[in-house]
Structure 1
């Protein structure tokens, strides 16, 4: 009802009625309207709060009942390289003394001239003024097996065309009760050669580590060796001799069996 309508209604009251002040009546009507609006607003606010509370409960916002905690991703284990210390050195010295090559073996009076830790064991090179010889103990780590020796070679570097200088020792080593293929080799760099690169079956390429005047290659296959696998059916190992700018000096393809069994003190 408008203000004018209220005034007209008050004028129409019977004369015996108690006189009413139009201004006070209108003011009271205005207060009642504000009260109803405030009450309606309060109800609406309460409804909004209730909806927000429901959303918070179901979405896991602070104050909600905690759900199961997410599992923290675990870091992937990394390969551990052994130090190639006393164990490899002692085993290689003992094997060299037990397997002499008269007139060719270096005298074992001093420390090794090269020592490189690998994925399982270590490769050690001994040398004197005339010859050098390499030994790897990966086959013997955790097993009752002997270390592997390469044939002793003269101290002078080979020619880039001498494929025999880059033959590998192909072994089967056991890791967690599973057999894996392992290849290693060592040598001196020919004149004009800065790097020696090997490409193994499966297309995996590794560049040999240069350790002083020598290079050493160590490679363990990522997958266990399938039972009954024949090496002759696999891709041949490729050796590339590279200059410092990665241009190729010479390439060699190793024949399975003939050039992949370079160790001299045990079978392939």
Structure 2
């Protein structure tokens, strides 16, 4: 990656933010071909994971897509577990594919830690199914598995995105950051109105969370399951 960045600086070329290779604008014929192929693959998916495993963000699909289409910046405020990280990138890709312009959808999604970037990418690839797995990838420090070019979801750390901006300052070839033309900010606990005011009072889409079932276990129950006994010196006197 460093060699490619240095080569880009010396030659005046820019790096592809999705694949890491030298960026070459997609020809119209290639874009049409890839978009048609993506549409065919999408239709062959059958029953989707989203249909059998719904999340709170799913009913807000139209509102979210409309806000992103009509505004350069959108703040999405969703509670933990609502599906922000895994579902919204898929909603964007699906929207573009069904409109016949899937090859134009190249989304970069940042994660705070490398382990979450990798695990979320694997989860999204699983949800999209075997036909679409090659369109999902990740990039973290010292490890990279980029997606296929044209219709791509790339999960990476913030540090990786900053490095990509050095080799491609305007993020040519990127449709959304979840920043050629779209910026999506997603947070469970952030000051959403402050974000909104900073970006010119951009819209805030609020998504409720999901209460996952929680069962309490007492220490004696855990010890019994493990076949262990509490030592007397651990008892509180």
**Structure 1 length-normalised TM:** 0.22
Rg larger for: 1
Which structure exhibits the higher relative contact order, with contacts defined as CA atoms closer than 8 Å and separated by 6 or more residues? 2
- Higher strand content, 1 or 2: 1
- Higher helix content, 1 or 2: 2
**Structure 2 length-normalised TM:** 0.24
